[in-house]
Amino acid sequence: MRKARVIAAKESLVTVETNGDPIVKNEVGYIQLEREKLKAEVLRVRGNTADMQVFEDTRGVKIGDEVELTGEMLSAELGPGLLGSVFDGLQNPLQRLADEHGFFLPRGVYPDPLDRDRRWEFKPEVSVGDRVVAGAVLGHVDEGIIRHRVMVPFREVEAMEVVEVMEGSYRVDEVVVRLRRGDGSLLELDMIRRWPVRQALPQKMFQKRYSERLYPSEPLTTTIRIIDTFFPMARGGTGCIPGPFGAGKTVLQSLVARYSTVDVVIIVACGERAGEVVETIHEFPNTKDPRTGGSLMDRTIIVCNTSSMPVAARESSIYTGVTLGEYYRQMGLDVLLIADSTSRWAQAMRETSGRMEEIPGEEAFPAYLDSSIKNLYERAGVLRNSVGEIGSLTMIGTVSPAGGNFEEPVTQATLGTVKDFLGLSYDRAYKRFYPAIDPLISWSRYLEQLAPWYSEHLSHEWVSEVQAFTELLHQGDSIYQMMQVTGEEGITMDDFVMWQKATLLDMVYLQQDAFDKVDVSVSRERQVKSFQFLRELINSAYDFSTKQEVREYFTKLTGLYKNWNYSAEGTDAYQKYFREMQDLARENYLVQRDPHMGEDALLGEQAIGESGSE
């Protein structure tokens, strides 16, 4: 074991010196105190000296203290037992620490992330004599509803022969497979894999036979109308949710995590207030999983490092979370990672950079902020694994710009990286327009990228129709701004009707009630039906005499439409409100009908069906 000694200490940053032994960037070391050892990571190497960030309070560290260098990178422990766990940024299991040491985390205690006492029923998928390569599946255990695959370590560079396979109940640290390398040496494997968190899991290994990175080609269904229709997220894509305090980021990310069509959810709280993290930890176990009927926590991992915990561990938490996500993606599963918030991760980097006296960039953030953010989001994506199954890692980062200023460096660097921008507006939140995603500033590059999928599964005109609705919203906003100056008398009847149509679209489609048991989650099929019906209403010509008639019509239509949104499909209420909307529209509807509909056809029947049911 190589040794070093402390020669300087400044808050969480210490400088160490070796006696000529090599020291490697990002390797882990332990500062040896009288009764404790403090975990630290090498950030910068200069000859025989190195700067290390300590993941603990450095109280009591003094010049001359011995440092034990491990030669290992800061790594995540991967294997069965991750799901349902709550870790800190160093992957310490917080529930186990609380059970053993109370609710105040002790310094210098680092228990194993995976429970060494729990037994798993290992079922092999290889036989003696088979040849396997890095990433190949050796067997699996059932981790709740997930088939957790045990794979060949990802760093192996040659094909190996299976010489012994176990079957039965084993702990994660017991040998389950033995392999023979080309030189005749044996490799004994248990169910634990370790991987450096700052390195992406290899996406092409052993002459490209293991995995293949694919282009995201399918949308991720979140069941939130404004996202799925106007600003879609690709499965395996990247997105960000910036917004000021009180704009509803926490509720929105909770809804996305709960209802998105993914297998595994990873929540990374990197610097959030302790109250919000506690709320998340208590909410998820008590939330019903809409996919399985069980607890949502059964397929969730929470990695949290609150603002009151060490800054250095706050930075590592996001890398730990993305490494866990990559691991499940290698199994062919769809993973959603939500980081809340990347602003505080960047602030942790700024603090560390300042202590290292690096040349600062804009607003004192490190000059490498932009590249760090890009490197993080680039670890998302779609992969085809060794058995031909396709897995994905979708990454969404929430950003908390001070004062809601989207021009600050973290937001701008994020916007230059992600392909889906869901900008939250304080004004919309103040008006109780939830989710408070502002359609006038938000955008998604996936709308056109996913056009082939929309053409095949929805309609050839879907993208152009969505773009037309987006343009309607912008036109409606321009008319509203004009009305603020001239009043209703200063605009034409046509402009007033267009503004009312834009308002209808906003009120009944962009807004969604997170506290209504029906409207909280809308399937893509129902979204399509609603969109097509709304298109009929908006694209129709109406016969109004006064602006008061226009206002009364759209006010009543909005009320009926909202009640229809709150009605479960196929119920009497669902059919009743649909019929009332048809009748109301017919009263004010000109004889200018859709050319694809018959002269006597009822408005919306092509989209909804004559009975108003599925």
Residues at the binding site are 243-250
Q: CA dist 463 to 229, 444, 458, 569, Å?
A: 9, 12, 10, 26
R_g (Cα) of the chain, nearest Å: 28
Backbone torsion region of residue 576, taken as left when φ is above 0, otherwise alpha when ψ lies between -120 and 50, otherwise beta: alpha
Helix residue ranges, H only, 106-240? 225
Instruction: Kindly state the tokens that stand for 250.
Output: 């926490």
Going by the DSSP 8-state scheme, the letter that residue 542 receives in this structure is: B
Q: How far apart are CA 381 and CA 265, in angstroms?
A: 15
Q: What are phi and psi of 212, to 5 degrees?
A: -140, 130
Three-state DSSP class for residue 399: strand
Integer Cα distance of 257 and 115 in angstroms: 26
Those residues whose C-beta lies under 8 Å from the C-beta of residue 139, and which sit 6 or more positions away, are 122, 123, 124, 125, 126, 149, 150, 165, 167, 176, 177
User: Crossing angle of helices 311-329/369-377, nearest 10°?
Assistant: 30
Q: Tokens for 41, please give them.
A: 């990571």
- Tokens 């640290």 belong to 173
> DSSP characters for 101-125?
H-SSPPTT----SS-SS-EEEEEE-
Give the C-alpha separation, 473 to 530, whole Å.
17
Query: Counting every residue, how long is the chain?
Result: 614
- Beta-carbon contacts of 34 under 8 Å, excluding residues fewer than 6 positions away, are none
β-sheet bridge partners, residue 112: none
**Annotation: binding site for ATP:** 243-250
What backbone torsions phi and psi does residue 487 show, to the nearest 5 degrees?
80, 175
What amino acid occupies position 67?
Answer: V
What number of CA atoms fall less than 13 Å from residue 337's CA on the CB side? 35
Q: Give the per-residue SS3 of 444-497.
A: ECHHHHCHHHHHHHCCCCHHHHHHHHHHHHHHHHHHHHHHHHHCHHHCCHHHHH
Report how far residue 340's alpha carbon sits from residue 395's, in angstroms, rounded to the nearest whole number: 11
User: Terminus-to-terminus CA distance in the chain, angstroms?
Assistant: 69
Spatial distance between the Cα atoms of 74 and 597, rounded to a whole number of angstroms: 64
SS3 99: helix
* Integer Cα distance of 399 and 406 in angstroms: 9
CA distances from 470 to 168, 232, 444 (A): 57, 13, 12
